[in-house]
A and B are shown apart, each in its own frame.
Chain A
């Protein structure tokens, strides 16, 4: 009898140990990284990993208001690159992104940022019409207009999304359809193909995981 009790106890103990070992799920970090020596609050030197971050930015939004990274600072946000006259992948991307938007509509910690790569035609008024017709209203989803240089550099160097002008393409531009997930510290934590429904579903699952990292 004693043997049985002790073996049950051992079982329970090992289960408890194993489950306490399990780490919480964390999203990966994308982009370049390097080690840096920093001083913590107590003034002790230690080595820390520094990840690639999104730099400061300033663009006009769909209401022609100068919008900066202050709008997204301290929030988790999803960024993408598109243009309004795009008839290939953008409609699918934004159809899928709309479902994410609708799911996190009431969550103040989540934002959406769409950069146009059509610097010739997509002025703020065009973006406004596009947003309205898509069914987006308010500040939660920003549609941003900027010069070719600033937007294309931001896309390729910082968000790691390829964009470009291409006169041979049907609509004049080519770009990748990634939805890039950025954390509250401006680090890249995920990239999802906005034209693929399963990847967009994964994005919906990853946003709460990322938000949970900040709950501790």
Chain B
């Protein structure tokens, strides 16, 4: 009986830890989302639009979840360094120069990336900034 109680307490503790971990992640996500939104408004919205709808064929929309998922490790690099590569987004081809944002720190890039990948109908969850830092170190 005593063993049984100890076991259940142990199990309970582990469950509690897991739940509290998730809570911390949820808090982080909310944090990133609100800071990311501010960065998005000042740096991204003028081209990509308030709802990520893009601008004609000049700026692609940010609503292509499949593209965002397939390029998960590249997103941070595109945000920091800009791009002029040809991309196919929502079935349409885009080739315009996106400016670089070298002034954004790793944490800023992470926050705006998390905001974009969890807004406009995207739902790709949380990415911590140390992971984003690794992505940024490996930019081509």
A and B interact: yes
B55 adjacent to A87 (CB under 8 Å): no
Q: Does A49 contact B (CB under 8 A)?
A: no
A87 adjacent to B49 (CB under 8 Å): no
> B103 to nearest A CB, angstroms?
10
A134 adjacent to B46 (CB under 8 Å): no
Q: Name, among B47, B58, B98, the residue most crowded by chain A CB atoms within 10 Å (CB to CB).
A: B58
> B80 to nearest A CB, angstroms?
15
Closest to A195 in B: B46
Interface size of A in residues (CB-CB distance below 8 Å): 16
Using a CB–CB cutoff of 8 Å, the interface residues on chain B facing chain A are 45-47, 49, 55-59, 96-99
Chain A residue numbers with a CB within 8 Å of B99 are: 87, 170-171
> A126 to nearest B CB, angstroms?
12
Q: Does A164 contact B (CB under 8 A)?
A: no
> B58 to nearest A CB, angstroms?
5
A133 adjacent to B46 (CB under 8 Å): no
Using a CB–CB cutoff of 8 Å, the interface residues on chain A facing chain B are 85, 87-89, 91-92, 94-95, 98, 130, 132-135, 170-171
> B42 to nearest A CB, angstroms?
10
Whole-angstrom distance between the alpha carbons of A94 and B55 in the complex? 9
> B5 to nearest A CB, angstroms?
64
A130 adjacent to B58 (CB under 8 Å): yes
- Find A95's partner among B49, B57, B98 (CB 8 Å cutoff): B49
Whole-angstrom distance between the alpha carbons of A171 and B47 in the complex? 14
